């Protein structure tokens, strides 16, 4: 196959690209390096790396029109700053629409897209959340812009799979609690946890399912989720263990904030029906792989899609 991977030097995109190359596919990746890293993909005879932005419509048209990919894996996303509406809309809306439009005009057989669970709002009405839950993305710029692109994809008539994601962690993860815990513990700073629970899934488990989607498995929206959640405290404990932090410092437990929810758990039943049972990597192994990556490459910064009081200190 020929596959174009947007955001191909980021966490999800680079793992997908590696798996495609390993099985003999031809891959072009495009990344603006906002959160991706060139070292995430080593040079390969069937790999072309383009350092640029999908917001450039002429560039996207040329890439898709000349390469004529069988599939596009669209992982590129802006999410570094919850108040940076400009870059969120530039990449997630304008860039995303460029990708979808090019896929439609040049006959791409399949687009694989990634959506945030925040599309269901900060206070989901179901637990676990089913695919029929109404989209209520108004709680964050990231969710608004990601949902906008998902709607364009649905409008296009292009064959697609959307994975609405649990918390994807592991090597090359630059957003969320894992890099934040690592960096603060490394710097000798205190950490806090809330009593919240989340579903943390290993990036390589997701990438294997994405490759199946490139091959034509499934259609429409799916939840990529283990169907089980763990306490944030358990994630923190796994980080402390993987780092072998002297004294095993305890995290301060804080009450849930006004915009936080106890658990965001996605119902993965349709995913298991269409893609088969998934053997999810245990949280301890997932965290250990992520920590090993940070120890070699650093965290690149620690980002979250929502405002966090802790980041002010």
d(CA 176, CA 173): 8
d(CA 223, CA 164): 5
Distances (CA, A) of 24 to 18, 45, 152, 209: 10, 10, 31, 17
142, 236, 293, 294: the active-site residue: 142
Report the residue count for the chain: 313
**What is the token pair recorded at 249?**
């410092």
Count CA within 13 A, CB hemisphere, residue 174: 21
Residue 30 gets which letter from DSSP? E
* 142 is a catalytic site residue: yes
CB 3 within 8 A of CB 71: yes
Q: Residue with structure tokens 């259609």?
A: 219
Q: How many helices (H) and strands (E) does the chain have?
A: 10, 14
Closest CA to 7 of 153, 207, 243: 207
d(CA 257, CA 15): 34
- Neighbour tally for 219: CB within 10 Å: 13
Contacting residues for 10 by C-beta, under 8 A, at least 6 apart: 31, 35, 36, 40, 75, 76, 172, 174
Just list the catalytic residues.
Answer: 142
């Amino acid at each position: 196959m020929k596959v174009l991977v947007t955001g191909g030097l980021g966490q999800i995109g680079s793992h997908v690209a590696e798996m495609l190359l390993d099985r003999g596919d031809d891959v072009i990746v495009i990344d603006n390096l906002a959160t991706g890293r060139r070292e995430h993909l080593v040079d390969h005879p069937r790999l072309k790396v383009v350092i640029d932005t999908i917001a450039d419509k002429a560039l996207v048209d040329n890439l898709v029109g000349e390469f004529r990919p069988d599939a596009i894996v669209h992982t590129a996303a802006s999410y570094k700053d919850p108040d940076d509406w400009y870059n969120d809309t530039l990449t997630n809306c304008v860039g995303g629409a460029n990708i979808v439009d090019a896929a439609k005009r040049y006959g791409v057989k399949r687009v694989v897209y990634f959506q945030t669970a925040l599309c269901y709002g900060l206070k989901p009405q179901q637990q676990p959340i089913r695919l029929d839950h109404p989209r209520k993305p108004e709680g964050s710029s990231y969710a608004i812009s990601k949902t906008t692109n998902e709607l364009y994809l649905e409008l296009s008539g292009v064959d697609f799979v959307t994975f609405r994601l649990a918390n994807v962690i592991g090597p090359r993860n630059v957003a969320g609690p894992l890099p934040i815990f690592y960096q603060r513990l490394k710097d000798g700073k205190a950490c806090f946890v809330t009593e919240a629970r989340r579903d943390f899934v290993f990036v390589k488990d997701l990438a294997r399912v994405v490759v199946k989607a490139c091959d034509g498995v499934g259609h429409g929206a799916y939840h990529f989720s283990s169907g089980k959640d763990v306490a944030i405290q358990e994630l923190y404990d796994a980080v402390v263990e993987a780092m072998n932090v002297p004294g095993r410092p305890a995290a301060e437990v804080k009450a849930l904030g006004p915009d936080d929810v106890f658990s965001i758990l996605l119902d993965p039943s349709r995913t298991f029906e269409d893609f088969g049972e998934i053997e999810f990597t245990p949280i301890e192994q997932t965290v250990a792989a992520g920590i090993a990556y940070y120890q070699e490459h650093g965290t690149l910064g620690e980002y979250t899609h929502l405002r966090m009081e802790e980041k002010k200190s």
